[in-house]
Structure 1
Amino acid sequence: MLKALFTRKKSSRPFKDYHSEWFNTLKNALLPLLRRSISDSAPTILSTHVEMLHQHFQSYYQALDLAACNDIAQLLFPDWRNSLEKPFLWLGDFHPYLFTNLLRSFLEDTDEEQTDDETEDETRENCKYFYDKPWQVAMPRRAPSKILMARVDQIECALRLMVPALVDRVRNAQAGLVQRVAENWVLCQGRKEVVRPVIGEAVAAEMEEMVSVFLDANRLRRSILAEIVSITSVYQAALYLEGLAQFFVGLREPELLAQFESCKIPLNIPSRIAL
């Protein structure tokens, strides 16, 4: 079935055009709306805006699935991603570890934990001082429950099992392609008219597997994000999605990108800071 999808006529609209529209909606509409709701809105309105942003992310990954079935190459080798985004990519989009790492960083900010000597009233005032947000929004970040942290551990454990399995499938598909092409090249003695269809068949088989792996990786991203939203309170989910959206937006900030690209120090060479 996937092979049949792969041989269909490719979509006339590049995915980068969809991504540009999706990103602009995230940056200019949904993220500002959520921020206003965090500061001013009633819980029911905030819950609605949290779900709107969550569904915006989910719709993006659904669109990725469709794009993968039409043309997987534009997602596996996205030349429209900038130099800040590319280090975070894994199988066509942001690595699912990013979701859990941001969540754990968000929940385990030890510098802002309540001390034993701090009264509840003092905690309320400190929350307002540090976050400039209502008490019910700031407190969930400062005091995540043991049940919540246990669920986060479970999500991370599942990721540690699933991610290597997907990496192995990619490695096996690539190794199989190389082996098949090499064997047939020898058998055909390098004759182009004979080798070309054989190589084409081998590439088609690998691409079919790559589409399957990509869809599974994308399903993993969607499920991790949905799980995080489901296990957190509406206020925790609001602050988490705000941070996640801001991270995506920040990677495309022109000033930050220009500073990164003008850096003269190679990133793979340790540097010593002058004292």
Structure 2
Amino acid sequence: MIKYFKDKKINSFLLWGIILTGIMLLVVVIGMFWTPYDPTKMNASQKLQGMSLSHILGTDNKGRDIFSRVMYGSRITLAIACGTMIIGAGLGTLLGAITGYFGGFLDEVFMRIVDAMLAFPSILLALVIVSLFDSGNIVVMAALGIAFIPSFARIVRSEVLRCRNMDYVENARIQGASDFRIIFLHIMPNISGVLWSSVLIGFNNAVLAEAGLSYLGIGSQPPYDSLGNMLSSAQQFMLKNPICVLGPGFAIVWMVLGFSFLGEGLRKKA
């Protein structure tokens, strides 16, 4: 990934992606060590307050500081998205690379399974998996990760199929390189641009999917409230204090825009 930043000509998508994502990560890291208020502390005397110097995003229906809760909830949402990508992109890349390179019967069987899984929207497939187990961060992470495997497998497989008979791969075979050395040391670096772009776009989908599941009450559970939980609990008070919804909603949009710009910037660089 470092090679993308050695080029002095950085496109606007990449630049804005770095800025938005950097600010978001800075807020998340600070929130791990400090928040203006305890995000779980309730204060009935200060519920549904508007924006002020004391509470820059106001307070929710239980008197909790919304900005502190957004800092905390962003960390939960981002952690689930990261776990989703580790499972989905990791296993999907491995399976796609192996089946695309070797082909044959294994490839045919695997692709039929992938086609069947892709027939269902990722959020619907994750919803089915979560419904079979107790809801929680780990279950949501695993469910979304499994749902994202097929899309990454198909992307990587198509790139490996394109590269496996190129001259540099043939030269590596002539020199006696093993199949797995060719896959991971010769082909994978040459498709890294497409892969990084896909991972960052996958982050968008993971953030939105986690928010959707938590909004429905089957994702992250209190006291580990994610941004989706905050939206769900605040919707009934949006007319009395709209900032209850705007705070976590804006945080989700910020995350999605940051990862979208980064993914598009890397795709243009690939």
Which is greater in Rg? 1
TM-score range, shorter chain: 0.3 to 0.5
TM-score, normalization: structure 2? 0.34
> Which one scores higher on RCO, CA 8 angstroms, separation ≥ 6?
1
